[in-house]
Amino acid sequence: MTLGVIVLISFLIALGLGVPLRSGMERRTLSISRPRRTFMLELGVCLFAGLLINAYNFVVYDLPFWSSISMMIGCSVAGFFIGLDSALAQERRVIQESMSVTRDQPLPNRLFSMTRKFSFVALITTVFVTLVLAMVFARDIVWLSKIGQDEASIIEAQLSVTLEIFFIMAVLMVLVVNLIISYSRNLKLLFKNETRVLEQVSRGDLSGKVPVATNDEFGLIAGHTNNMIDGLRHRIQLISALKLAEELQQNLLPQQDPRVPGLDIAGKSIYCDETGGDYYDYFRLPDNRLGIVVADASGHGVGAAMHMTTVRAFIHYGIRNYEGPARLLSRVNKYVTRDSSQTGRFMSMFFLEIDPHSKSLRWVRAGHEPALHFDRSQKSFGELDGKGMVLGVNEDLQYEEFSQTGWHANDIILIGTDGIHETRNEDGAMFGQQRLKDILRQKADAPAASILNSVIGSLKDFRGNASQEDDITLVVVKLQ
């Protein structure tokens, strides 16, 4: 009874002193570190209570300090299990608090793996069980040496030792099972939080985050899951922006082909990404002439699209004071070079002026693919060729103009980008110019739109399952 009162009072004093320490730890310690601090605090409180008990016994009963080792071991065992249980309870509170936190939570700075936790608990538990049993057996051996040798005394001793061992094992089993149940509750919370957020992600809801509440594998998985969610959010924003850019760029292209007496025209651009650098356009010129421009910016994607948009603006600005293809492209080149000479970007362009009345052609080839001219009567091919550098390299360059007079009825002019003949199939072979010429021969009597669709269909069939590597633009002009 006296020893029980001493132990109770000592623990009450230690617990009372530990209250302000707990509240201070709650305020100053990061949430992810609280379980570990709680374990250390509870273990320290129990050890302090053991020191108080030993100090009182030393002062009042003059017991030697070393004789109270068993009391310190008992307090250590109690502190270990109480600290683990309190740490797990604190971890549950941290997990629940983290569920309501809206700010981003970083990855744990130091990873304390679950394997190390289990190994640590198993090792310390084994050591404590061994010490307790060793002390019990040592005391029982001394006690058994002093009992009587009659049968009744031996049976009573056996029963006493057995009950004592069963009691100790039962207490340790209750403590271990309590820890298992407590840890299982924490695992259930962590699994629930992780699966809840992943289910939301699978439904397309990226508003949730997994709380990073532990510094083990669950905390690491939660942190990487949150990084994945951030990446998906950014990707969706990027896709939405690219979709908007695609819609805007498509609006910059002609919405319908022009209807010009004596001409049948069809054009189309197909980008390999959401946006691209290919461009074609039509311009009504004085004296019922028609201007056709086909251009190809270096590269593809967003950067090429922005470059294309800039060049388009310069073309539309310069066409207001149109004085011929050469002067127009020379003026546009000056603006383009000033804007993009330091970026390394350039653009090839083919500008064709058609006069249906005089049946004349004028063109400028600024580093672009020559336009194909199919002579329907002779069934032969020619090129609207000529020298000229791409736009955006030399600001002072003056482009040269080329011309041709006369054509036969149903002649075909095809202006395209290099994405047509450079289209590759799954074996790496290129579509080439010959296949394109064969289509023009076969479809020579068809309207321009039908010829254009035949070229595009043939390109898709030739490519098969291979991906489109470059933008494709073509304009088909059938001369009447």
Judge whether residue 367 has pLDDT over 80: yes
- pLDDT of res. 401: 94
Reported confidence tier of residue 53, pLDDT bands at 50, 70, 90: confident
Judge whether residue 113 has pLDDT over 80: no
Which pairing describes strands 289-297 and 472-479: parallel, antiparallel, or unpaired?
unpaired
Q: What is the DSSP letter of 430?
A: B
Are residues 303 and 179 part of one domain? no
Note whether residue 241 is domain-resident: no
Note whether residue 337 is domain-resident: yes
Are residues 68 and 211 part of one domain? yes
pLDDT tens digits, one per residue of 345-366: 889 999 999 999 999 999 999 9
Q: Is the pTM of this model over 0.75?
A: no
Find the length of the chain.
480
Spatial CB neighbours of 201, under 8 Å, sequence gap ≥ 6:
208, 229, 232
CA 156 to chain centre: 72
Reported confidence tier of residue 247, pLDDT bands at 50, 70, 90: low
Are residues 213 and 332 part of one domain? no
Reported confidence tier of residue 24, pLDDT bands at 50, 70, 90: low
CA 166 to chain centre: 57
Are residues 223 and 268 part of one domain? no
Judge whether residue 275 has pLDDT over 90: no
Q: Which domain holds residue 208?
A: 2-233
Percent of the chain with pLDDT over 90: 29
Reported confidence tier of residue 417, pLDDT bands at 50, 70, 90: very high
Judge whether residue 474 has pLDDT over 90: yes
- pLDDT of res. 225: 84
> What mean pLDDT do residues 288-295 have?
94
- pLDDT of res. 104: 61
Are residues 265 and 142 part of one domain? no
Cα–Cα distance between 47 and 79 in angstroms, integer?
7
Are residues 469 and 328 part of one domain? yes
Worst-scoring range by mean pLDDT, 14-28, 34-48, 127-141, 165-179?
A: 14-28
Rounded alpha-carbon distances, angstroms, from residue 110 to 106, 119, 220, 223: 12, 18, 10, 13
Q: Average per-residue pLDDT in the chain?
A: 83
Are residues 165 and 266 part of one domain? no
Q: Which residue has the higher pLDDT, 284 or 277?
A: 284
Judge whether residue 79 has pLDDT over 80: yes
Note whether residue 250 is domain-resident: no
Note whether residue 251 is domain-resident: no
Residue after which a domain boundary falls, among 217, 233, 249: 233
Residue after which a domain boundary falls, among 216, 233, 250: 233
Note whether residue 306 is domain-resident: yes
Are residues 388 and 329 part of one domain? yes
Cα–Cα distance between 465 and 459 in angstroms, integer?
12
- pLDDT of res. 244: 66
Spatial CB neighbours of 129, under 8 Å, sequence gap ≥ 6:
172
Cα–Cα distance between 419 and 416 in angstroms, integer?
8
What's the domain count of the chain? 2
Note whether residue 255 is domain-resident: no
Cα–Cα distance between 207 and 232 in angstroms, integer?
11
Q: Which residue has the higher pLDDT, 103 or 402?
A: 402
- pLDDT of res. 66: 61
- pLDDT of res. 148: 63
Question: Residue 254: left if φ>0, alpha if ψ -120 to 50, beta else—which one?
Answer: beta
Reported confidence tier of residue 378, pLDDT bands at 50, 70, 90: confident
Residue after which a domain boundary falls, among 182, 214, 233: 233
Cα–Cα distance between 384 and 475 in angstroms, integer?
14
- pLDDT of res. 28: 56
Note whether residue 103 is domain-resident: yes
CATH of the domain at 321: 3.60.40.10
> What mean pLDDT do residues 416-436 have?
91
Judge whether residue 205 has pLDDT over 80: yes
> What mean pLDDT do residues 1-29 have?
68
Q: For residue 146, which amino acid is it? A: K
Judge whether residue 260 has pLDDT over 70: yes
- pLDDT of res. 436: 92
- pLDDT of res. 334: 92
Are residues 434 and 287 part of one domain? yes
- pLDDT of res. 40: 85
> What mean pLDDT do residues 50-78 have?
76
- Is residue 192 within 8 A of residue 208, CB to CB? The reply is no
Cα–Cα distance between 350 and 369 in angstroms, integer?
8
Are residues 228 and 351 part of one domain? no
pLDDT tens digits, one per residue of 155-191: 777 787 788 788 878 888 888 888 888 888 888 888 8
Reported confidence tier of residue 429, pLDDT bands at 50, 70, 90: very high
- pLDDT of res. 356: 92
Note whether residue 253 is domain-resident: no
Q: Which residue has the higher pLDDT, 191 or 293?
A: 293
pLDDT tens digits, one per residue of 297-335: 887 677 777 888 888 899 999 998 899 999 999 999 999
Q: Which segments of 179-323 are extended strands (E)?
A: 263-270, 278-285, 289-297
Are residues 468 and 362 part of one domain? yes
Are residues 187 and 276 part of one domain? no
